[in-house]
Chains A and B, each alone.
Chain A
Amino acid sequence: MSTSTPAAPAAPAAPVRRNLPRLYLLEAKYEFLKLWRLRAYSVSTLVFPLMFYVIFGSTFGRFSTQGIRVATYLLASYTAVGVINAAVFAFGSGVAAERGQGWMMLKRVSPMPVSAYFAAKTAMTMLFSALVLVILTVAAFVLQGVHVPVGSWLELLGVMVAGVIPFAVMGLMFGYGVGPNSAAAVLNLVNLPMAFASGLYIPIEQMPAFIQHIAPYLPAYHFAQLALAAIHARPLGSAVHHLIALAVFTAIFAVVAVRAYRRDEGRTYG
């Protein structure tokens, strides 16, 4: 607030007594219910990856790539598809829609801590990521006899849960950048080719050479390679290299997201 004249004496700063843990828990609970009941969301996050695994796993599962079975490779890569969908749609079209309809404005006027909204979204997207990994792990074991040692599986879980962050920021960038009406369409347009060219649908080594050259410029490629490293695939580049690449992408997305948010502020609010 700009105060060109002295402000009125501040109200006695009585501490605001609320049950904050309950507030954060409810925010998370309703974020989960909201997403879970949204067919478009739960299907693209949980059902599509499973469907693709069943189809492509049974077709190519017995071959090998990067030193592991394709069935194992696809467990990692289709989980990554689910994680990326969960993150970009919750943070991209989800936030864009909630801003567009004025829901964010209502929340901003309320005494809700802004952190509760983003913490809930992040936590629930991570929960969806863990769910898709569990579903695909079971499918891979049942359909393809893929057995992942517990240590590797936990490492894979860590990659999947942390992987929410770069793609959440990417979602925000598109959500703030293109606005509520076109966010979902643009994200679909970007998301599928990105995942395909990063070797998420078909192993990267089976892709045409020019795509293998493009892949390192895509965040999903580095994410997938980190996931594959967790399950002992022959690495393409070092893990540190992929981590740095993802960090750089995240930083660029964040800068663009903040700029888009500022440009939009005062028009859409929130």
Chain B
Amino acid sequence: MTIPTRSADRGSPAGSAPSGHGGAIAELRNVRKHYGEVQALRGVDLQVHAGEVLALLGPNGAGKTTTVGLLLGLLKPTSGAVTLFGGDPESTAAKVRVGAMLQISGVPATLTPREHLDLFASYYPAPLPVARALELGSLTEVADRPYGKLSGGQKQRLHFALALVGNPDLLFLDEPTTGMDVTARRGFWEQVRAFIGSGRTVVLTTHYMEEADALADRIVVIDHGAIIAQGTPAQIKSRTAGRRIRCVTALDPAFIRDLPGVVSVEAGGAALEILAQAAEPVVLELLRRDPGLHDLEVGGAGLEDAFLALTGRSEP
């Protein structure tokens, strides 16, 4: 993915902002959350800076949704502190500045998108006009159709519009494109980009690397309830020092795997996919051993590869 981040310098570098001041509009400080014996979060420090698009990336069960639940005041931390706009996440003062698209299965089926949005807008001091929210969710055509008769994608877009209608400063998107096909997912990203103007802050959870890469300024990788990496998408990808080499060669994959600097080797059709820390020495060695090597391509490793390198296992 090569979609440029809109402004990579908006957020402070990870961890360097003073806690509770200035840029951080939402914060977890040394937060632990246990559900009985299960440790969902094990001492997480996280700051959300004004204006950034932050992706929480990790496999299912990593603690992403728990993090969002804590920031939204749905859950209380077992220990540690959670603040939202400098106050209690459960306060009305904080809630009027937040919109959330959560993993829900539905809203009452007999009301229409227009009615749902009209009601939700009334909860906020300065909401968007309902017509605008319908437009942002591409729902204008079905505005007066009962929710129960909408398609899956339309329902999902209403959940998105419900998150926007309060005109929030901070938007939470919890696994927003789960269950969408590729086309719908890309369309949804366009809608998110259309909404995030200047000054909007977004916290996105996803287990799609591509989604984090496409939307986020900063990625925080969570696994087993702890933050294992954070940085810009470019930094996360460079953490693997990863280059992907693709070529057709007569060499034995097992031999290539043992070359210095090679992380993994996979067969991809007739060609081999080699993940290496740096491309040049490996390519040099391959060409020296196999002059007949052809169809050589070298590219940056994707986030999937980064995730593999960071967690030692593949994306679920």
Name A's B-contacting residues (CB within 8 A): 1-5, 7-11, 13-14, 16-19, 22-23, 26-27, 30, 33-34, 37-38, 98, 100-103, 105-106, 108-113, 266, 269
B86 surroundings in chain A (CB, below 8 A): 8-11
Contact A11 B87 (CB under 8 A): yes
Nearest-CB distance from B162 to chain A (Å)?
7
Contact B74 A269 (CB under 8 A): yes
Q: Tell me whether chain A's interface is mostly helix, strand or loop, or mixed.
A: loop
Nearest-CB distance from B61 to chain A (Å)?
15
**CB contact list, B13-33 vs A, under 8 A:** 19-21, 24, 27, 29-30
**CB contact list, B70-89 vs A, under 8 A:** 72-83, 85-89
Option from B104, B110, B116 in Cβ contact (under 8 Å) with A38? B110
Contact A4 B80 (CB under 8 A): yes
Nearest-CB distance from B165 to chain A (Å)?
10
Q: Does B4 contact A (CB under 8 A)?
A: no
Contact A11 B103 (CB under 8 A): no
Contact A7 B81 (CB under 8 A): yes
B96 surroundings in chain A (CB, below 8 A): 16, 18, 111
Contact B74 A18 (CB under 8 A): no
Option from A17, A102, A113 in Cβ contact (under 8 Å) with B104? A102
Contact A23 B80 (CB under 8 A): no
B260 surroundings in chain A (CB, below 8 A): none
Nearest-CB distance from A42 to chain B (Å)?
10
Nearest-CB distance from B211 to chain A (Å)?
21
Contact B77 A8 (CB under 8 A): no
Name B's A-contacting residues (CB within 8 A): 19-21, 24, 27, 29-30, 35, 72-83, 85-90, 92-96, 98, 100, 102-108, 110-111, 115-116, 118-120, 122-125, 146, 159, 162, 166
Contact A16 B110 (CB under 8 A): no
Contact B87 A10 (CB under 8 A): yes
Of the A-B pairs whose beta carbons lie under 8 Å apart in the complex, a sample of 7, sorted by A's number, is A2-B81, A7-B88, A17-B125, A23-B122, A98-B108, A103-B108, A266-B75
Contact B108 A9 (CB under 8 A): no
Q: Which of B30, B81, B93, B108 has the most CB of A within 10 A?
A: B108
Q: Tell me whether chain B's interface is mostly helix, strand or loop, or mixed.
A: loop
Q: Which residue of A lies closest to B115 (CB)?
A: A30
Contact A16 B20 (CB under 8 A): no
B24 surroundings in chain A (CB, below 8 A): 8
Option from A3, A11, A266 in Cβ contact (under 8 Å) with B85? A11
Option from A5, A10, A11, A106 in Cβ contact (under 8 Å) with B29? A5
Given contacts A16-B93, A30-B115, contact A37 B106 (CB under 8 A): no
A3 surroundings in chain B (CB, below 8 A): 81
Given contacts A26-B119, A110-B120, contact A105 B106 (CB under 8 A): no
Given contacts A4-B30, A16-B93, 17 further A-B contacts (CB under 8 A): A2-B77, A7-B83, A8-B19, A10-B86, A11-B85, A16-B125, A27-B119, A30-B111, A30-B119, A34-B111, A98-B108, A102-B105, A103-B106, A106-B162, A108-B74, A109-B100, A111-B124
B81 surroundings in chain A (CB, below 8 A): 1-5, 7
Q: Which residue of B lies closest to A120 (CB)?
A: B119
Contact A26 B74 (CB under 8 A): no
A8 to B48 Cα, complex, angstroms: 14
B29 surroundings in chain A (CB, below 8 A): 5
B162 surroundings in chain A (CB, below 8 A): 106
A111 to B81 Cα, complex, angstroms: 21
Given contacts A26-B118, A106-B107, contact A2 B79 (CB under 8 A): yes
Contact A18 B125 (CB under 8 A): yes
Nearest-CB distance from A25 to chain B (Å)?
9
Given contacts A10-B86, A14-B93, contact A4 B79 (CB under 8 A): yes
B87 surroundings in chain A (CB, below 8 A): 7-8, 10-11
A8 to B120 Cα, complex, angstroms: 29
Nearest-CB distance from A12 to chain B (Å)?
9
Contact B76 A111 (CB under 8 A): no
Option from B76, B106, B115, B166 in Cβ contact (under 8 Å) with A101? B106
A9 to B89 Cα, complex, angstroms: 13
A11 to B20 Cα, complex, angstroms: 11
Nearest-CB distance from B55 to chain A (Å)?
20
Given contacts A1-B81, A103-B107, contact A8 B125 (CB under 8 A): no
Nearest first, the 5 closest Cβ-Cβ pairs linking A and B are A102-B104, A8-B20, A37-B110, A111-B95, A101-B106
Given contacts A34-B110, A38-B110, contact A103 B123 (CB under 8 A): no
Q: Which residue of B lies closest to A103 (CB)?
A: B107
A127 to B104 Cα, complex, angstroms: 30
Q: Which residue of A lies closest to B103 (CB)?
A: A102
Q: Which residue of B lies closest to A17 (CB)?
A: B125
Q: Which of A27, A102, A111, A266 has the most CB of B within 10 A?
A: A111
